[in-house]
Amino acid sequence: MTKRAVIGVDVGGTTVDAAVVLKNGKLVGEAVETSSPSAGTEDEIVEGLVKVIEAARAQTSDCEVEACSIAMPAPFDYEAGISHMVHKFQAVHGIKLGKLLQARTGLSTYFINDAGAFGLGVGWLQLSGIERFVALTIGTGLGGSFIEDGKNVEQDTRIPLGGEVWDLPYKDGILEDYVSARAVVAAYATPKPDEQRSAQSIAYLALQGDPEATKAYETMGMELGRGLAAVLAHFAPEKIIIGGKVGLSLKLFQPALQQALTDAGLPRIEILQAREGNLAIWGAARHAFDSLDPKVSKFDRAS
């Protein structure tokens, strides 16, 4: 009997990762990675995405790849497969990217928000059986998804519009200004005006006992807790999962985050590190399997 499979793709500004995923969550072969064509022309972007999709599909032998599902950052019309980004992928702004990819690959093509895909991946591989949780990614920016009964919650009075947290009003800006790689760098008091630091290098210094580096991460954790306290009070998650490259340093800011939530009067919520692996790939694949009934892609229809 032929095994059912889909290709999950996670598109970022730096890399594009893809893998063939079976219905039981196992990978066929290995995940493949290529440089992101985010700054390329329309042809280069389409060709770059097709290349990584086909590289993943080339590893299959005894399974039927039924669809491709792509995790993309916002702003993006996920139903229509049209990008509205202007800060990256500018060359495909307003273009029916899904239709172009489906014509090249022959696969039914779906799109999902990258933070939402991360949440679905967490629910599938790490928190199966947990009714309600929040999944956050902290890296270049801040992403979030609200998962209930195995599905993304996007239109609900308990959460921000669309489940977006990065642009929540906070202090004199938005929450992402205070919870991101650049926020850590901004909070770190460098000893020399011309010294350049990254969030990763500051994390290393904090682990070595540098008090200013430690304070930078603690400040971010405190801001995250304060910025999300009201939302978490309404949604009442059982757990919070933290992922992303900055999120890998959870132990540096978890106590401050927990304290901020406690100070806001919330009951204790378990805060966990996301498991290893690109969970957005699995979340995108889960979205594809959920979308294949009925097995008709939205791009197959006249538009």
Distance (Å, whole) CA 188 – CA 150: 38
Residue that has been written with the tokens 């805060």 in this structure:
271
Q: Listing from the earlier edge strand, what are the strands of the sheet with 3-11?
A: 27-35, 15-22, 3-11, 63-72, 108-113
Please check whether the two domains, 3-117+279-300 and 129-273, share a CATH topology: yes
Note the pLDDT of residue 194: 60
Domain boundaries, the chain: 3-117+279-300, 129-273
Residue 293 neighbours by CB under 8 Å, 6+ apart: none
Round to whole Å and give the CA distance between 262 and 269.
9
Q: Which amino acid is at 57?
A: R
pLDDT 10s digits, 26-53: 999 999 999 999 999 999 999 999 999 9
Q: Decide if 38 contacts 98 (C-beta within 8 A).
A: no
CATH of 3-117+279-300, one of 3.30.420.40, 3.20.20.70, 3.50.50.60, 1.10.3720.10: 3.30.420.40
Whole-Å CA distances, 280 to 8, 87, 243: 8, 21, 10
Contact 10, 71 (CB under 8 A): yes
> What is the model's pLDDT at position 246?
94
- Among candidates 229, 235, 221, 264, which has minimal Cα distance to 119? 235
36: Cα within 13 Å, side-chain hemisphere: 16
Alpha helices in 145-300 (DSSP H): 181-187, 199-207, 211-235, 250-263, 279-291
Q: What is the pLDDT of residue 63?
A: 86
Specify whether the CB–CB gap between 32 and 55 falls below 8 A. Answer: yes
Give pLDDT, residue 300: 45
Given a cut of 50, the residues of the chain with pLDDT beneath it are 296-303
pTM metric for this prediction? 0.89
Read off φ and ψ for residue 281, nearest 5 degrees: -65, -45
**pLDDT of 157-177, one tens digit each?**
999 988 889 999 999 999 999
Q: Give the Cα separation of 68 and 20 in Å (integer).
A: 9
The DSSP secondary-structure symbol of 85 reads: -
Span 129-273: which CATH code?
3.30.420.40
Give the per-residue pLDDT at 193: 59
